[in-house]
Amino acid sequence: MNYYLLSLIKTAIVVGIFMHVLAYLQWIERKVIAHVQLRVGPRRVGPHGLLQPLADVIKLVTKEDILPSHVNKVFYFMAPFIAVTFALISISIIPFGPEITVGGVRTQMGLTDLNIGVLFILGISGLGVYGVALAGWASNNKYALMGGLRSSAQMISYELPMALALVAPLLILNTLSLREIANGQEGFYLGFIPKWSIFQMPFPQVFSFILFLIAGFAETNRVPFDLPEAENELVAGFHVEYASMKFASFFMAEYANMVTVSCVATLLFLGGWHPIFPEKYGSGLIPVVIFAASALLCFFHAANPARPFDRITLPVFGVLFLGAAGLFLLPPVQPILLPLFWFAAKVGIILFVFIWVRATLPRFRYDQLMRFAWTFMFPVALINLFITGLMVALFP
Amino acid sequence: MDALLFMIFAAIAVICAINLVVQTHPISSALSLVGVMGALAALYLLLGGEFIAAAQLVVYAGAIMVLFVFVIMLLNAGSERKPVIKPRGKYLGAPLLLVFLGMMAYLIQRIMPASAPVVFGAFQGGTAKEIGRSLFTVYLLPFEVTSVLILIAILGAIVLARKEVD
């Protein structure tokens, strides 16, 4: 098939799914936090609040776009564009699965593959700071400026441990291309321990993984490192003067960055789309079991409804889940869906950790944040890198 | 296609560089410099220096310039006053600059030996592996000396920035 046509189709699919993931991630976050705090979360718009993202989008688009009189107009308009652009670019080099054949066309799952993939991600995430910093500065507001300043200092500081944590698994896997990184983690030790970076010999990269996740929280300005927008100190930090779609851009950028960090962590440390135990022990049945169990749960709760509406909505969800379970049993779509399932499951678990941490941990103080980066994370990352290098050199 | 991309990114680099000098506000200048760096990274990529391109993005555009912007924001530097340009400079400046640039281009073309034209995609030694190999074999001494130099600079910065404790 024509290369350009194929790329166009793949781009349309990835962008469509990515945008929906971003919108629904926010719904999931609200739901999860609500349940952690013993609330029910959004459930007015659509069944179980499932149409809430749509309502939010309509609200944000139709809101009045206020232009404060005291802002630096050029940079004020530029900042959300920069933030959202650099947040969305990274998805283009994330591979979602192996090479597949659809209707006689062989193609890679994922838009493209760079042989400097990891460096590209680092560079792009470094450029994303400008959005936040400029927004803070151009707003001409002291709270916003404080937020912008904090954000740039924080991102410079945490980029170091993040890069050092990234380098350690690269020493073992010996490549910078994200697809080859995922492929390098295929296979099992002793037939059942997956060769993911966090388990891979000669030095399992558990510490790098934890360091990377912590730095990832800081890079995406998430709790407990959300000082750029600390609500109770800075009102809303760098985006305090933004309304309507410009505010939505920052919001979208934050969630896109979260997805990117989760994807990179999955690819580098959790083996990408490779299953957690071998196919021959039936790892292909895991999604079927999960979806069938969800369906059963839905049917059970429909039979004993807690609210009157559940009698109608839950059986529908149950049938949908059953359909998904059946889909994973069809041999022709299995090679496409299974890698996608494992990739999405790992990314989803990391995203859940992001939300879980937001629901449970308090915010750092600013000096604690800086001291933590420079006096704890940086040395630990260096030592980890040193040990990894030593082990790789000793046991090639 | 390559030539077209080269023209586009070269134009961006030059325009950003001119904008860097013309702008009066430090933040605008700093951001123009980021534009120059980004365009340069794209040019490196076109020439096959993929690692250098990524390093350019990560180090210069991503780290150093963020630090610049950070410091400008921290000091809250206002825009410079535009110097008063005398009419002589106003009308003679641009033509003289053009003449000067033309002369330079002509001289360089005459003095420099004619070499084979650059072929996009011909250079293959720009991968991370190749660069790492040459850094740790052929250029080992300069590499180590540079790292010592940077270490000295860091120590100097700490000594200069440290508050005197009485």
pLDDT in tens, A8-38: 888 898 889 888 888 888 888 988 989 888 8
Mean pLDDT confidence for B18-25: 85
The answer to whether residue B98 neighbours chain A at the CB level (below 8 Å) is no
Predicted pLDDT at B149:
95
Q: How far apart are the first and last CA of chain A?
A: 42
**CA distance, residue A133 to nearest chain B CA (Å):** 8
Predicted pLDDT at A1:
65
Among residues 90-129 of chain A, which lie with CB inside 8 Å of chain B?
A: 114-116, 119-120, 122-127, 129
Predicted pLDDT at A10:
86
Contact list in B for residue A120 (CB cut-off 8 A) is 54, 57
Residue B126 CB neighbours (<10 A): 18
Residue A54 CB neighbours (<10 A): 13
Q: What is the CA radius of gyration of chain A?
A: 22
pLDDT in tens, B92-116: 888 888 999 899 988 988 887 777 7
A120 and B31 within 8 Å at the Cβ level: the answer is no
Residue B153: Cβ-neighbour burial (10 angstroms; 0-12, 13-18, 19+): exposed
Among A130, A134, A392, the strongest candidate for a mutation testing the B interface, having the largest count of B CBs within 10 A, is: A130
User: Comparing B55 with B85, which gets the higher pLDDT?
Assistant: B55
B66 and A133 within 8 Å at the Cβ level: the answer is yes
Pairing of the two strands A95-102 and A105-110: antiparallel
Predicted pLDDT at B150:
93
B70 and A155 within 8 Å at the Cβ level: the answer is no
Predicted pLDDT at A230:
67
Assign B111 to helix, strand or coil: helix
Q: In Å, what is the CA distance from A313 to each residue of A32, A45, A288?
A: 20, 13, 22
Residues A23, A46: contact at Cβ < 8 Å?
no
Predicted pLDDT at B166:
57
Tokens standing for residue A116: 């400097």
Contact list in A for residue B55 (CB cut-off 8 A) is 119
The answer for residues whose C-beta is within 8 angstroms of residue A185's C-beta and 6 or more apart is: A173, A194, A195, A196, A197, A200, A271, A272, A274
A–B: how many Cβ contacts below 8 A? Answer: 79
Among residues 327-346 of chain A, which lie with CB inside 8 Å of chain B?
A: none
Residues A336, A97: contact at Cβ < 8 Å?
yes
The answer for residues whose C-beta is within 8 angstroms of residue A316's C-beta and 6 or more apart is: A47
A148 and B73 within 8 Å at the Cβ level: the answer is yes
Return d(Cα A93, Cα A89) in angstroms, integer. Answer: 8
Which backbone phi and psi does A241 adopt, to 5 degrees?
-95, 5
Predicted pLDDT at A374:
87
From the list A136, A159, A176, which residue is nearest B63 (CB)? A159
Predicted pLDDT at B165:
62
**CA distance, residue A332 to nearest chain B CA (Å):** 38
Nearest CA in chain A to B45: A116
Predicted pLDDT at B12:
92
pLDDT in tens, B38-48: 899 888 888 88
pLDDT band with cut points at 50, 70 and 90 for residue B134: confident
Contact list in A for residue B74 (CB cut-off 8 A) is 149
Predicted pLDDT at A201:
74
Contact list in A for residue B54 (CB cut-off 8 A) is 116, 119-120, 122-123
Mean pLDDT confidence for B59-84: 79
Among B73, B154, B158, the strongest candidate for a mutation testing the A interface, having the largest count of A CBs within 10 A, is: B73
Q: In Å, what is the CA distance from B139 to each residue of A322, A349, B52?
A: 62, 45, 16
**Residue ranges of chain A whose pLDDT lies below 50:** none
Predicted pLDDT at B103:
92
Nearest CA in chain B to A145: B73
Return d(Cα B57, Cα B60) in angstroms, integer. Answer: 6
A129 and B62 within 8 Å at the Cβ level: the answer is yes
- Any idea which residue has 């005398």 for tokens? B86
- Any idea which residue has 């325009």 for tokens? B15
Class assignment of domain B2-126? mainly alpha
User: Comparing A240 with B160, which gets the higher pLDDT?
Assistant: B160
| Counts of helices then strands in chain B (DSSP H, E) | 7, 0
**CA distance, residue B157 to nearest chain A CA (Å):** 16
Among A4, A75, A127, the strongest candidate for a mutation testing the B interface, having the largest count of B CBs within 10 A, is: A127
Predicted pLDDT at A297:
86
**CA distance, residue A36 to nearest chain B CA (Å):** 37
| Residue B12 DSSP class | H
Tokens standing for residue A78: 């530029």
Peptide bond into B113 cis (omega under 30): no
Among residues 242-261 of chain A, which lie with CB inside 8 Å of chain B?
A: none
Tokens standing for residue A180: 């080859």
Return d(Cα A23, Cα A46) in angstroms, integer. Answer: 15
**Secondary structure (H, E, C), chain A:** CCHHHHHHHHHHHHHHHHHHHHHHHHHHHHHHHHHHCCCCCCCCCCHHHCCHHHHHHHHHHHCCCCCCCCCCHHHHHHHHHHHHHHHHHHHHHCEEEEEEEECCEEEEEECCCCCCHHHHHHHHHHHCHHHHHHHHHHCCCHHHHHHHHHHHHHHHHHHHHHHHHHHHHHHHHCCCCHHHHHHCCCCEECCCEECCCCCCCCCCCHHHHHHHHHHHHHHCCCCCCCHHHCHHHHCCHHHCCCCHHHHHHHHHHHHHHHHHHHHHHHHHHCCCCCCCCCHHHCHHHHHHHHHHHHHHHHHHHHHCCCCCCHHHHHHHHHHHHHHHHHHCCCCCCHHHHHHHHHHHHHHHHHHHHHHHHHHHCCCCCHHHHHHHHHHHHHHHHHHHHHHHHHHHHHCC
B63 and A156 within 8 Å at the Cβ level: the answer is yes
Contact list in B for residue A238 (CB cut-off 8 A) is none
